[in-house]
Structure 1
Amino acid sequence: MKFLYLLILFSLFSCYETTRNCTDFKTGEFYSEVTIDGELFKSKFKRTETLQIETYNKKTDSSQLRWINDCEVVFKTINPKNMAEQKDIHLKILTTTDSSYTYEYSYVGETKKQKGVAYKVAAN
């Protein structure tokens, strides 16, 4: 009977597999939503293999991208305006769907991580 319970338990966990088709999100046009301390922040961005241009609160920032692997990238602000913008940001794609991905990010070297969701904008 123990064997049956173990078999059922194992099959439940093995059937749940996280989808990560990260290459689908390396380039394109997106919008992102992040909740920090209960407040929702939204931004829009365009991404190539090596560059991301983001608009938030009518302000545009550009970052150079260095892909560590298909699911992890480091952002370096091109023209930082303050100390916080001088810090590189590490982003890791956790899961994907056909039109979105869930990610976590943090400043490089820091342990506090935030999570967000980015949605691919459909091409017209």
Structure 2
Amino acid sequence: MKLLLCLLFVLFVSCYQIERQCTDYQTGTFSSEITINDSTYNSVFTRTKDIQIETYQGHVDSTTVRWINDCEVVFRTINPKNMQEQKDIHLKILTTTDSTYTFEYSYVGEKTKQKGSAKRIN
């Protein structure tokens, strides 16, 4: 009996897949929160199909938007001011709810990834 219950549990767990509605977050206005080394960083950004404009600590940054698939996007700074800003950023949406999504991102070609969350504000 225990074996049967264990098999049923494994069957149901292995079939469960997180549903993501990534297309709901390809455009709009959002606030994001990222925690790095016990420090939390907040920003507000507006994204269209082609461009994202982000405000962080009073600084406005614009990037082009290129969707790889429904849940992955690459950002490229429009007017980079230094070498760091010349690096493209790859972002992957991991989970979605009705008003938020969690994501991971890294510079293209780098293995270190950071995680964060974003909430639709408009």
Partner of 1:64: 64
1:13 Cα shift? 4.1
Taking the TM superposition and a 5 Å limit, the aligned residue runs for 1:1-124 are: 1=1, 2-14=3-15, 16-122=16-122
Pairwise CA distance, 1:6? 1.1
Cα displacement string for residues 41-78 of structure 1 (whole angstroms, at most 9, x for unaligned residues): 00000000010000000000000011000100000000
TM-score of the two chains, using structure 1 as the length reference: 0.93
* Structure 2 gaps, min length 5: none
Gaps of 5+ in 1: none
Q: What is the aligned residue count?
A: 121
Q: Partners of 2:20 and 2:27 in 1: how far apart?
A: 15
- Structure 1 distance, partners of 2:22, 2:9, is 31
Q: How far did residue 40 of structure 1 move?
A: 0.3
Superposition deviation, residue 80 in structure 1: 0.6
Residues 19, 97 of structure 1: 8 Å contact kept: no
Kindly, what percent of the aligned residue pairs are identical? Answer: 60
Deviations 1:87-108 (A, max 9, x none): 0000000000000000000000
CA displacement at 1:8 relative to structure 2: 2.2
RMSD: 1.1
